[in-house]
Amino acid sequence: GQQVMQIPQYQHVQEGEDFTTYCNSSTTLSNIQWYKQRPGGHPVFLIQLVKSGEVKKQKRLTFQFGEAKKNSSLHITATQTTDVGTYFCAGPGDMRFGAGTRLTVKP
Amino acid sequence: DSGVTQTPKHLITATGQRVTLRCSPRSGDLSVYWYQQSLDQGLQFLIQYYNGEERAKGNILERFSAQQFPDLHSELNLSSLELGDSALYFCASSVGPGAPRETQYFGPGTRLLVL
């Protein structure tokens, strides 16, 4: 199966700064999912996007699904140390997890 | 707690040996997935089962095999172990194929160390 491409691989920010990770596919996705893995933990489901142009918010996290349903992004406003971890996107069916973006936050 | 259980939590073995990792999915979930995660790496998809049948195969080595039993628990067998097989092995479960049923719930993982 195909794998979605995710960038950047690493992101180091100062606490309070914003953070964005991007997920891209060469084919149209029926849906995309986002997961977070804390250091030493297991991936935890955050959200699923299904509709073209969809935007969903969870407190300081904003998830977007592109109009063409080929890309997605996760934006965190005013990062906190609790946001530390690796964020993965995953496509549907045979589409596999992206490589993940590892976020570190300097207090 | 995701509701997915994995045993054992830790496993230390020697090269050339064989081990079996066990996973029990969430109640009601029919799909089970296996992933390998090496140190600071991404999630490498190994294999997926749905209701006892193999549904998708990823980068699973020939030395590895898996199955899903009638009670829906799954086992991942790793044989002729090599040092490079040392990794965290995650099991995940979902209701089944097709959104939103594909949301995956991950177990705590089995950390395998091959010496």
Q: Please report the pLDDT score of residue B100 as a whole number.
A: 64
For chain A, how many structural domains are there in total?
Answer: 1
Closest residue to A45, CB basis, from B56, B90, B105: B105
Share of residues in chain B with pLDDT > 90 (%): 79
Q: Please report the pLDDT score of residue A2 as a whole number.
A: 67
Taking a C-beta distance cutoff of 8 angstroms, is the pair A89, A72 a contact? Answer: yes
Q: How confident is the model over A2-57, as pLDDT tens digits?
A: 678 999 999 999 999 999 999 999 889 989 999 999 999 999 999 999 999 999 99
Q: Please report the pLDDT score of residue B98 as a whole number.
A: 66
Closest residue to B90, CB basis, from A42, A48, A98: A42
In Å, what is the CA distance from B80 to each residue of A52, A103, B11, B35, B85? 47, 36, 15, 19, 10
Taking a C-beta distance cutoff of 8 angstroms, is the pair A75, A60 a contact? Answer: no
Q: Please report the pLDDT score of residue A54 as a whole number.
A: 97
Whether the predicted pLDDT of B63 surpasses 80:
yes
The parent domain of residue A35 ranges over: 5-106
Mean pLDDT of the region B59-66 = 94
Sheet holding A19-24, edge to edge: A5-7, A19-24, A71-76, A61-65, A55-58
> Residue B81: what residue type?
L
Provide the CATH number for the domain around residue A51: 2.60.40.10
* Token pair of A30 as six digits: 């029926």
A42 neighbourhood in chain B, CB within 8 Å: 2, 90, 106-109
Q: Please report the pLDDT score of residue A96 as a whole number.
A: 79
A54 neighbourhood in chain B, CB within 8 Å: none
CA A28, distance to chain mean position in Å, is: 17
Whether the predicted pLDDT of B10 surpasses 90:
yes
Q: Please report the pLDDT score of residue A76 as a whole number.
A: 98
| Cis-peptide, bond into residue A8, ω within 30° of zero | yes
> Residue B86: what residue type?
S
Q: What is the DSSP string of A16-65?
A: T--EEEEEE-SS--S-EEEEEE-TTS--EEEEEE-STT-EEEETTEEEEE
Closest residue to B56, CB basis, from A42, A50, A94: A94
Whether the predicted pLDDT of B111 surpasses 90:
yes
Q: Please report the pLDDT score of residue B41 as a whole number.
A: 78
* Token pair of B104 as six digits: 């995956």
pLDDT band at B42 (very low <50, low <70, confident <90, very high): confident
Which residue does chain A place closest to B89, by CA atoms? A42
8 Å CB contact of A102 and B40: yes
